A = this chain, B = another copy of it.
């Protein structure tokens, strides 16, 4: 991982213990919720306020350092794998989330057939299914 301090400085952000810990936590739990991140940060630096977690995550997403995924029926998930337009496959039963490479590459992989005059910025793809573990249980 890039040094969190430089990463923050490179994006014009002040370097705080909380932001550094949040960056480390996201690296440690990919596709973690704000709550997962908070727990991980607490175990690393002792304490952090809920608001600081949301602020750090929000700012870092804004700067393009992190990516936020908001699957239906789940709190938002965060990851630091960015810039490759990858997608997600989520288990409907247990919520397990895995990365799926975009079959087409790095450029936006989907083009709406008729765009109604909209300017399209992103095509978000979520695959829903059942993971191997949940499937054997059913």
Contact = CB atoms under 8 A, between A and B. Distances in A.
B118 A112 contact: no
Size category, A interface: 35 or more
Given A89-B120, A125-B123, A114 B101 contact: yes
Given A70-B72, A72-B70, A73-B70, A120 B113 contact: no
Nearest to A70: B72
Contact of A91 (B92, B103, B118, B132): B118
Nearest to A117: B132
B124 A120 contact: no
Contacts of A98: 116, 118
A9 interface: no
Query: What 4 pairs between A and B have smallest CB-CB spacing?
Result: A70-B72, A117-B132, A120-B129, A109-B109
